Structure 1
Amino acid sequence: MKLWTSRCVTRRGFFHTLAAGALTLGGGCSGRGRGAELLHASFDATRELYRKINQAFAEHRQQQGQEPVRIKMSHGGSGAQARAVLDGLPAHVVSLALWLDIDTIVRKGLIEPSWESQFPHRSLPYISTVVFVVRQGNPWNIRDWPDLLQDQLRIVTANPKTSGGARLNMLAAWLSVTARGGSFPEAKDFLTRLLRKVPVLDSGARGAALTFARKGIGDVLLTWENEAYLQQRELRGRVEIVHPPLSVQAEPPVAVVHANARQAGAEELAHNYIRFLYSPVAQNIIAEQYLRPVHWTEDPRFTPMQLLRPVDPQHQLGDWHNIQKQFFAEGGLIDQIFREIS
């Protein structure tokens, strides 16, 4: 990725944000005075993204002569946010890290089953991927997934049993074997050898980032691309980013929480808000936050990569429910590997 010009981390800094509390509910930095209101529940890594988008949306409505809008944000772990909505958080819009987290809300009847088809690109205004963060100079000469198995090299990742981001790390590692013709047993062996190299498993991706950056543990960190660039900027040359030739496609979808939005009389506003995410203004903000917008392949700022969807039929993993059961549920593949290496 090249020629980034955005200065979009708050002045308190990326790692200050990492150390802050997990769940915040605040007034979204957009719209002043009385007017329409939206409550948007999102995952931790989108704080600065939606601060900027919410401001742009409020300005867009003002330019159109529409009533002012105030967007309140609730941030936390993706799974925790889904549970909060189920427990009564009256969010009108959710943007979560994993499809399964939104599906949890769908199954309770709060989101319409057709939510994916209500907005372009399966309700994905942006995507991301998993990359490697390495120490300055890339002393282990890491270029691709097989390089992670070098003797003595230590890997930092969050626990895939508790972190949605870490689950994508595991799926990326798995697909790096099978997408190149490797068998399922070979992919399991690769995952086992990789997890043996993890000295500590933090519960979340942000904890893993702190372990790597502040505690100096590990030689390579597996993380989302946007988080990697924020770390690189904050650490000022002490780390580098390696884009492997192929990786997993991270798909954080967005949806209207129809039951809550209707009850609040905010359904049209919620739909307009999500449609705004696909506008040129919002897509540019998304790119400035190091997330890959809808047309990222046409944007020279982004490193070309082969991005793989685990649910595509050629990978033979089934749908997200099957992947969850096969890999991450009790007694699944990750539990089997943990028992083997403990």
Structure 2
Amino acid sequence: MFQVIRQLLVALAAFLFAGLALAQSVSLLNVSYDVARDFYKDYNPMFQKHWKAVAGETIELKQSHAGSSKQVRAVADGLDADVVTMNQASDVDFLAEKGLVAKDYARKFPNNASPYTSTMVFIVRKGNPKALRDWSDVVKPGIQVVLPHPKNTGNGRYTYLAAWGYALRQPGGNDRTAQDFVSRLLKNAPLFAAGGRDATTTFMQRKIGDVLISFESEAELIAREFGKGEFEVVYPSLSILTEFPVAIVDKVVDKKGTRKQAQAYLDYLWSAAGQENAAQNYLRPRDAEILRRYAAQFPAIRTFTVDEVFGGWAKASSTHFKDGGSFDQIYQQK
């Protein structure tokens, strides 16, 4: 009898311990853009260790990556993301319009809710055989350009807007000359990749194209995978400042009871450890001291913002990327 009671007590203790462990464990889903895999592969274990130390809670972190616009549509259609970490404000704005993200999400965190920045650069074959040094070179006849689809990806949209802004700021530049300039760029694209990583695969593995236009940070990821001897990075004379807004998906965290953890997960991006991780992944940190320490890997480059040239993402999206906008007008003539 004593043995039976003892076994029951052991079983009950195991059950209670399992229940306690379950109660102390929580899961978050971060829905992110295509080329952010490596950043969050490094960031997530750091945050898990931090959260265990400060909250005593084990946290499971799940990731979803694809083209940014495809991702936000999935969230709008019911994918239970606790947080979104995107590469353009227009995608988070879309979720705000759907009532999934706070209208003032950009004021919920520092720096317009963008914990780091980047810019668009040219990745060319070793030795730069086509002598591609600026935007005016990549629109020349016979140059093959690889980029993601400007209508479906943040990477592609930034490339499109960077070229448009460059053309606007040339002598005599206006919307007509800019549209002609971007038309020549798109005519040089033999295809549009599905996302930033797909564009890299097309350029590096399939050996298609003379130049890949992508985020500065992607160049280092290419170097890690393929070796630095396979390509060169060219900084144009003028490019666009790319920002990466983050937000809590209110409806999901309130349903799951994960708001505290989601808030902490995004807040930690601005911590010294989070900013250091950004720099190590070749994303320009917001922390000025950390940026200074990594100055050697971030060459100075003149940039403009979407707000400065296009009046913000809402206006840029309406003018250029909505159905019937300038992209469609150009693409129909391609």
TM-score with structure 2 length normalisation? 0.86
Alignment of 1:250-269 (within 5 A): 250-269=242-261
CA distance in 2, matches of 1:281, 1:177: 39
Distance 1:226 1:64 in 2: 31
- Residues 57-93 of structure 1: per-residue CA shift (max 9 Å, x gap): 1111233353222222222221222122222222211
CA–CA distance in structure 2, aligned partners of residues 161 and 53 of structure 1: 29
Quote the residue 2:180 is aligned against. 189
Aligned with 2:104 (options 111, 114, 134): 114
Deviation at 1:151, TM superposition (A): 4.0
Instruction: Quote the offset at 1:302 in angstroms.
Output: 0.9
Residue in 2 that maps onto 1:58? 48
- Matched positions, count: 307
Q: Give the alignment partner of residue 39 of structure 1, picking from 25, 29, 53.
A: 29
Secondary structure of 2:315's counterpart equals: helix
Matched, 1:305 2:301: yes
Give the CA deviation at 1:161: 2.6
Equivalent of 1:207 in 195, 198, 201: 198
**Cα separation, partners in 2 of 1:199 and 1:83, compared to 1, 3 Å:** closer
Match of 2:161 among 171, 174, 198: 171
Specify the SS of the correspondent of 1:141: coil
Q: Are the equivalent residues in 1 in contact too, given 2:164–2:178 (CA < 8 A)?
A: yes
* Range 299-308 or range 198-207, more displaced: 198-207
> Which residue identity lines up with residue 340 of structure 1 in the other structure?
Q
Contact 1:43-1:76 within 8 A present in 2 as well = yes
Aligned to 2:18: none
149-158 or 274-283: bigger deviation:
149-158
Q: Distance in 1 between matches of 2:120 and 2:105?
A: 26
- Which residue does 1:280 correspond to in 2? 272
Q: Does 1:159 align with 2:155?
A: no
Name the structure 2 match of 1:25.
none
Q: Distance in 2 between matches of 1:184 and 1:258?
A: 39
* Per-residue deviation, 1:199: 2.0
Following superposition, the deviation at residue 247 of structure 1 comes to: 0.7
| Residue 280 of structure 1: how far off its partner (Å) | 0.7
Task: Spell out the pairing of 1:52-131 with structure 2 (5 A cutoff).
Answer: 52-64=42-54, 66-131=56-121
Task: Tell me how far 1:159 sits from its aligned partner.
Answer: 2.4
1:63 and 1:220 map into 2 onto residues whose CA distance is 46
Tell me if structure 2 keeps the 8 A contact 1:43–1:75: yes
Q: What's the counterpart of residue 328 of structure 2?
A: 335
CA 215–106 in structure 1, closer or farther in 2 if over 3 Å, else same = same
Indicate conservation of the 8 Å contact 1:232/1:241, yes or no.
no
Give the letter aligned to residue 273 of structure 2: V
3-state SS, counterpart of residue 89 of structure 1? coil
Which of residues 203, 211, 235 is equivalent to 1:220? 211
- The structure-2 alpha-carbon separation of the partners of 1:266 and 1:174, relative to structure 1 and needing over 3 Å to count, comes to same
AA partner of residue 109 (structure 1): G
2:311 equivalent among 315, 318, 323:
318
Distance 1:264 1:321 in 2: 31
One-letter amino acid of the structure 2 residue matched with residue 204 of structure 1? G
Higher helix share: 2
Counterpart CA distance in 1 for 2:75 and 2:139 is 40
Pair 195,89 (structure 1): closer, same or farther in 2 beyond 3 Å: closer
User: How far apart, CA to CA, are the structure 1 residues paired with 2:263 and 2:80?
Assistant: 16
SS at match of 2:323: coil
Query: 241-250 or 224-233, which moves further after superposition?
Result: 224-233
Distance 1:39 1:206 in 2: 21
Distance 2:128 2:120 in 1: 17
- Give the letter aligned to residue 300 of structure 2: P
Task: Specify the code of the residue in structure 1 equivalent to 2:192.
Answer: L
Question: Conserved in 2, the CA contact under 8 Å of 1:37 and 1:72?
Answer: yes
Contact 2:67–2:152 (CA<8 Å) still a contact in 1? no
Given the superposition, is the C-alpha separation of residues 260 and 201 from structure 1 closer, same or farther in structure 2, using an over 3 Å criterion? closer
Superposed displacement of residue 135, structure 1: 0.5
| Residues 218-273 of structure 1: per-residue CA shift (max 9 Å, x gap) | 11111111112212332221111111122111112101112211222211221111
**CA shift for structure 1 position 123:** 0.5
Deviation at residue 94 of structure 1 after TM alignment = 0.9
Q: Distance in 2 between matches of 1:319 and 1:149?
A: 26
| CA-based RMSD | 1.9
